[in-house]
Amino acid sequence: DQQVKQNSPSLSVQEGRISILNCDYTNSMFDYFLWYKKYPAEGPTFLISISSIKDKNEDGRFTVFLNKSAKHLSLHIVPSQPGDSAVYFCAAANNAGNMLTFGGGTRLMVKP
Amino acid sequence: NAGVMQNPRHLVRRRGQEARLRCSPVKGHSHVYWYRQLPEEGLKFMVYLQKENIIDESGMPKERFSAEFPKEGPSILRIQQVVRGDSAAYFCASSPRGLDGYTFGSGTRLTVV
C-alpha cells in the first residue's frame, strides 16, 4: 500500500522554463512534507518542506504548494537549470514521529 | 563539519554471508535512521534508533536483519545470511531531534552475488 505516490516517473523541461513535480498521499495523519533531490550514487539532499498548517512555502527558485483537501502537493522550480537534473523525492511524516514515507521519485531532466 | 558518514560505499557479498553496514551520524545528532532503496523505487524506512535503544523497527524484516547504535561508535546494520533480494542501497540518516536537520549519508550499495 503506497501511502505517497509520485505518478510521473520522469519529466523533461527546457532550461529557463518551470518544472512542476507532483505528489499525492493517502494517509490523513501526515502533517509534514518534504522534498529531496538525489544525484546518482549520493544520498538524498533536503530541498524544502511544508507543514500542514500552510499551503505554500517558498525558498529561492523552489516553491512547494500543499492542497490538504486533495491530499496533493507540488514542487515548482523556476527558472529550471541544467544542474537541477536529478531524481526528486517527495516524503511525508507525522510530526509526532520521526519516520519519513517516500514516494517513488520523479527523474527531472532540464535540457540546455 | 562532517555529514553522515557511511561505510563501506560498496559491499559485495556471496549468498549466505553476513553484511555489516556502518553509519556515523553528524556530530551531536543522537537520532539515527536506516532506509533501504531497491532499484527503481523510493526509500523505505527500516529502523529508528537512539543511543543504545531501538525506538521503532517497524520497517525491519523480522529475520536476518538487526541494528544497533551503541553508546560508543557508529550505528551498525547487520544482515545475516544475505540473499539476492537484499541487494539494494542502504541509507542512514541522523537528526538532533525530530525532523529538523534530518541529514542523509551517501549510502552503502550492497550487491549479493
Task: Look at chain A and count its residues.
Answer: 112
- E strand intervals along A15-105: 19-25, 32-38, 45-51, 56-59, 62-67, 72-77, 86-93, 101-102
Q: Give me the mean pLDDT over the A63-76 stretch.
A: 97
Q: pLDDT tens, B14-57?
A: 999 999 999 999 998 999 999 999 988 889 999 999 988 999 99
Q: pLDDT tens, B64-76?
A: 999 999 988 999 9
Query: Looking at beta carbons, which residues of chain B come within 8 Å of A95?
Result: 98-99
Please judge whether A45 and B106 are an interchain contact, meaning their C-beta atoms are less than 8 angstroms apart.
no
Q: pLDDT tens, A72-107?
A: 999 999 999 999 999 999 999 986 778 999 999 999
Predicted pLDDT of residue B65: 98
- Residue B86, min C-alpha distance to chain A (Å): 18
Which residue in chain A is spatially nearest to B108 when comparing CA positions?
A: A41
Number of A/B CB contacts below 8 angstroms equals: 64
Q: pLDDT tens, A18-64?
A: 999 999 999 999 999 999 999 998 999 999 999 999 999 999 999 99
- Residue B97, min C-alpha distance to chain A (Å): 8
Query: Looking at beta carbons, which residues of chain B come within 8 Å of A91?
Result: 43
Predicted pLDDT of residue B63: 95
Amino acid, res. A13: V
Task: Write the residue in A36, A42, A46 that is nearest to B106 by C-beta.
Answer: A42
Predicted pLDDT of residue B100: 79
Q: Return the residue in B40, B102, B109, B111 with the most chain A beta carbons within 10 A, the one to mutate for interface testing.
A: B102
Closest C-alpha to B52, from B35, B34, B28, B76: B76
Q: What is the DSSP string of B25-65?
A: PPTT--EEEEEEE-TTS-EEEEEEEETTEEEE-TTS-SSSE
Which residue in chain A is spatially nearest to B37 when comparing CA positions?
A: A104
Which residue in chain A is spatially nearest to B6 when comparing CA positions?
A: A43
